């Protein structure tokens, strides 16, 4: 096959490209330039899209003896990922930019261009596996549960899965990947993993948002509507947060309070006890399937609401264009805007953006 290897400059994508070469594929490497704010080196940066990353990717491609290009996807990234991130926070939701990047950039914009240029598939260093099932190609968890990235790939459709290649999915551990990179002479063998949001390299999400959407003081309310504190901008908070709350009035029971709701229209934040974070039901209209849709409109599954959270057994139901999930035991601290990924065993069924939540706790003060 003709394979376009997306090379981030990290060890995973470098080894994935190397394995594609070893498998006899015709491989071309490409690094995605996602920001036009050039000149940023990794010093103090925790992202994955710096100039140094592009140079690391080029060195890895040279070591593998494959052609290498840098493609400018900065405008598409700005419009589909960064702008979406800002809009979601302005609406009081908590977005996952990595999900949007996979959905809109790596497996939409990149894959579209790859197919236009005659490539058969895009190869990445994600830890997930593809299985030929009775109803077609299936997306499954990786062998290494600690590195499994099937959650952030839950946005992929069956058509996209047909043109993807995940060489690392059956690798037993990240240590094996690093050892292989060392043996291959790849300079990124011991390079630290990237983390946090790539377009906020210093990790200061609150400050970054304040510069773009403004910061206006507002009230912090308890569930009865009483003012218990103030804040410097509702956009800085997300459901389940405890740190950063400026509360002038302690709870009657003396226990810590957590963010239960963000109301951007009134610029208020609602807080309450930890038990009020228990969520009995979630629902959303924006859902996709990783292959063939479920045969029934109501079915049992496991649901994961964060990249590293445990899956929870649940019942899912589709009615009037809305996917509703009721877990056997309540979720903890779900925020609108998060992504819920549905599984059947190790198989990814699909995903949806959470628009509505129902608390499992009665309202009390």
For the annotated catalytic residues, the residue numbers are: 101, 198
The answer to whether 282 and 325 are in contact (CB under 8 A) is yes
Cβ–Cβ contacts within 10 Å for residue 320, how many? Answer: 5
Which DSSP string corresponds to 98-131? HHHHIIIIIIIIHHHHHHHTT-SEEE----EEEE
Tokens 């995940």: give the residue.
Answer: 166
Which token pair is 98? 């990595």
Q: Which H or E run contains 133?
A: strand 128-133
Buried b (16+ CB within 10 A) or exposed e, 151-180: bbbbbbebebbebbbbbbbebeebeebbeb
Helix/strand/coil for 12: helix
Percentages of the chain per state (helix, strand, coil), in multiples of 5: 25, 30, 45
Spatial distance between the Cα atoms of 336 and 40, rounded to a whole number of angstroms: 33
Q: Which H or E run contains 136?
A: strand 136-141
Query: Beta strand 339-344 with 298-304: parallel, antiparallel or unpaired?
Result: antiparallel
Which contacts qualify for 20-26: CB closer than 8 Å, 24 or more apart?
Answer: 20/123, 20/165, 20/167, 21/64, 21/65, 21/66, 23/167, 25/1, 26/1, 26/2
Helix/strand/coil for 266: coil
Q: For residue 140, list its beta bridge partners.
A: 129, 347
């Amino acid at each position: 096959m003709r394979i376009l290897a997306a090379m981030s400059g990290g060890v995973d994508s470098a080894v994935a490209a190397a394995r594609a070469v070893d498998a006899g594929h015709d491989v071309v490497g490409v690094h995605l330039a996602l920001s036009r704010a050039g000149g940023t080196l990794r010093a103090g940066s925790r992202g994955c899209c710096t100039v140094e990353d592009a140079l690391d990717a080029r060195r890895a491609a040279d070591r593998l003896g494959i052609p290498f290009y840098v493609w400018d996807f900065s405008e598409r990234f700005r419009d589909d990922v960064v702008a979406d991130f800002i809009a979601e926070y302005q609406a009081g939701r908590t977005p996952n930019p990595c999900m949007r990047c996979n959905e809109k950039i790596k497996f939409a914009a990149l894959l579209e261009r790859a197919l236009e240029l005659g490539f058969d598939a895009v190869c990445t260093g994600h830890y997930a596996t593809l299985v030929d099932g009775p109803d077609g190609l299936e997306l499954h968890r990786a062998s290494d549960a600690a590195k499994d990235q099937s959650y952030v790939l839950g946005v992929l459709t069956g058509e996209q899965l047909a043109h993807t290649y995940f060489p690392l999915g059956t690798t037993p551990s990240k240590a094996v990947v690093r050892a292989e990179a060392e043996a291959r002479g790849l300079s990124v063998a011991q390079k630290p993993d990237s983390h946090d949001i790539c377009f906020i390299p210093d990790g200061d999400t609150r400050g970054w948002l304040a510069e773009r959407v403004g910061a206006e003081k507002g009230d912090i309310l308890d569930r009865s509507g009483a003012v218990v504190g103030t804040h410097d901008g509702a956009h800085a908070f997300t459901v389940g947060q405890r740190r950063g709350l400026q509360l002038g009035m302690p709870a009657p029971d003396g226990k810590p309070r957590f963010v239960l709701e963000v109301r951007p229209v009134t610029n208020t934040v609602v807080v309450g006890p930890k038990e009020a974070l228990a969520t009995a039901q979630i629902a959303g209209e924006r859902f996709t399937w990783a292959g063939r849709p479920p045969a029934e409109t109501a079915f049992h599954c496991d649901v994961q609401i964060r990249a590293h959270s445990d899956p929870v057994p649940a019942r899912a139901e589709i009615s009037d264009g809305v996917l509703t999930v009721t877990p056997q035991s309540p979720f903890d601290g779900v925020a609108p805007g998060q992504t819920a990924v549905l599984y059947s065993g190790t198989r990814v069924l699909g995903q949806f953006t959470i628009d509505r939540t129902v608390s499992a706790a009665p309202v009390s003060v």
